[in-house]
């Protein structure tokens, strides 16, 4: 009979479809795993509501749990419980190592334009804080684009949500 730990371990092997260096568990989108008599229920929070990877993630979870010999039910929870603060320390390090600057911690009141325009963000390549906002938006809704004046390299900054 499948155990909760086996399910968590299996989910930790599913890469984020858009940033495959981190797993769904690293991303903090798995809210709960309940195992009852061979049936598995997973509570899952989307990162962004318009994220096109939502169905891919849901299907990948169902398939992986199916491979453990259990029936899976994936509940999508569209509440306010996901924040980039839920990305695990391991996930943040994996992001940084692959050239995505991890999100800044969310402060009370949420992110502000003056903060994005300040030089409080560190380049994931050279570590310099002399970086400038190029575009609030980027290749996917979860990322902004910044430019490092230290190593003259543009980089992607995970938005704080």
Partner 1 sequence: MNAQELLELADDELILGWRNSEWTGIAPLLEEDVAFSSIAQNEIGHARALYELAARELGTTADELAFDREPGEYRCSKLVQLRLVPDWSRTIARHCIYERLDQARIEALKGLDDPELAGLAAKIDREEAYHRMHAEMWAERLAEEPRFTAALDELEPLFDLREEHVPEFEQLWREMTSVRRSVAGATW
Which residues, including other chains, have CB under 8 Å from residue 115's CB and lie 6 or more apart?
A: 104
| 8 forms part of the interface with partner 1 (CB under 8 A) | no
Q: Does 80 help bind partner 1 (rule: CB under 8 A)?
A: yes
The CA distance from 138 to 92, in Å, is 19
Q: Please, are residues 89 and 27 in contact by the beta-carbon 8 Å criterion? A: no
CA dist list (Å): 34 to 39, 42, 94: 8, 7, 28
Q: How far is the CB of 153 from partner 1 (least distance, A)?
A: 17
Q: At closest approach, how far in Å is the CB of 110 from partner 1?
A: 5
d(CA 156, CA 145): 5
Among 6, 48, 130, 153, binds partner 1 (CB under 8 A): 48
Based on the shown chain and the rule CB under 8 A, indicate whether residue 83 belongs to the binding site for partner 1. Answer: yes
Write the interaction track for partner 1 spanning residues 49-78; mark x where CB under 8 A is met and - where it is not: xxxx-------------------------x
Give 67 or 76: the residue with its C-beta nearer to partner 1: 76
Instruction: Please identify, among the stretches 12-20, 93-101, 128-136, 147-155, the one whose residues bind partner 1 according to the rule CB under 8 A.
Output: 128-136
Closest alpha carbon to 84 in 140, 6, 139, 161:
161
Pick out residues in 85-124 that bind partner 1 (CB under 8 A).
110-113, 116
Residue bearing tokens 């992110």: 111
Which member of 21, 68, 136, 151 binds partner 1 (CB under 8 A)?
Answer: 136
SS3 content of the chain, % helix, strand, coil (to 5): 25, 25, 50
- What residues line the site for partner 1 (CB under 8 A)? 48-52, 78-83, 110-113, 116, 134-141, 145, 159, 161
């Amino acid at each position: 009979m499948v155990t909760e730990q086996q399910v968590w371990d299996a989910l930790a092997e599913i890469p984020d479809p858009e940033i495959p260096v981190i797993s769904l568990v690293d991303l903090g989108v798995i809210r709960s795993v309940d195992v009852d008599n061979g049936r598995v229920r997973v509570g899952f929070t989307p990162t962004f509501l318009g994220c096109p990877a939502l169905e891919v993630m849901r299907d990948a979870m169902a398939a992986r749990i199916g491979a453990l010999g259990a029936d899976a039910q994936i509940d999508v929870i569209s509440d306010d419980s996901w924040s980039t603060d839920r990305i695990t320390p391991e996930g943040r390090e994996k992001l940084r190592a692959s050239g995505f600057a991890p999100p800044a911690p969310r402060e009370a009141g949420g992110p502000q334009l003056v903060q994005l325009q300040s030089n409080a963000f560190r380049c994931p390549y050279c570590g310099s804080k002399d970086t400038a906002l190029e575009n609030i938006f980027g290749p996917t809704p979860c990322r902004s684009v910044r430019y490092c004046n230290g190593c003259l390299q543009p980089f992607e900054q995970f938005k704080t949500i």
